[in-house]
Amino acid sequence: MLVFAICIYVMFPLLQSEKIELCEKNCFNPMSFNCSMLSAEKLGRCCIKGKTESSVVGLDLSSCHITSIEDMFYSFHNLKILYLQNNSIQVPTIEAFHGLTQLQILKLPPKIDCPGGSELWNDTQHTEDAVICTGELSSCTVYNVSCPNVNSYCVDVGPQVTECLCKPGYHGYKCLRQGTFPTLTFVVGLGVSTVVISGLLWVTQRRKAKKQV
């Protein structure tokens, strides 16, 4: 548990720096929509309702000299408006939009289609300057996804991406085990193992260092 807490303490500033860097990206044009429409505050290129990536609800990266968006939005789970037009972006993979399940407006360069196609959006428009995707729909519903076990259910992970999770009270392979997952035992075991392995590595490296001296 101590090891887990230390990891969170170390990683949190890194997550913060990533968020600030993206929100403060240097772009050619000023931000093109008002954060008040999302009841949020403006922070650089972002509309934000807190202090982490998950609190960013609007992001305008239009005209920001971006060529790839892979792994850029994985922690922006509450993003509702995303502008990406006027960039020379390579055609993104499905994973590029992983975690974005609440998009209300997505603007892309003209050569890039809405992720998942028009069937996953309430409306799609193609203009000279952008492709506009409005109202993201549930991939679970559109594709009528059936999970392999009655103890599991479908959840949206992003446009065209779904996964099956266990219902409350079930866990394990194909959600066949009943009861709650032994989280405390797992975390404690992982922490103890990490400490033991770290200790062994430290002792081993220290001995090698002494021999070299």
Q: Could you tell me if 153 and 175 are in contact, meaning their C-beta atoms sit under 8 angstroms apart?
A: no
Q: How confident is the model at residue 57 (pLDDT cuts 50, 70, 90)?
A: very high
Residues 129-178 pLDDT 10s: 999 999 999 999 999 999 988 889 999 999 999 999 999 988 887 787 77
Task: Quickly state the pLDDT bin for 189 (edges 50, 70, 90).
Answer: low
How does the average pLDDT of the chain come out, rounded? 81
120 close to 160: Cβ distance less than 8 angstroms: yes
State residue 86's pLDDT score.
95
Instruction: State phi, psi for 146 to the nearest 5 degrees.
Output: -110, 120
As a whole number of Å, the end-to-end CA separation of the chain is 37
- CB contact set of 84 (below 8 Å; sequence gap of 6+): 61, 62, 66, 69, 106, 107, 108, 109
pTM here? 0.72
Q: Is pLDDT of 181 > 90?
A: no
- Closest among 47, 28, 37, 21 to 85, alpha carbons compared: 28
For 50: left if phi > 0, alpha if psi spans -120 to 50, otherwise beta; the answer is left
pLDDT cut 90: percent of the chain above it: 54
pLDDT band at 179 (very low <50, low <70, confident <90, very high): low
CA distance 111 to 165: 35
pLDDT band per the 50, 70, 90 thresholds, residue 81 = very high
**pLDDT tens readout for residues 8-35:** 333 434 334 444 578 888 898 899 899 9
Residue of 112, 119, 124, 33 lying closest to 80 (CA atoms): 33
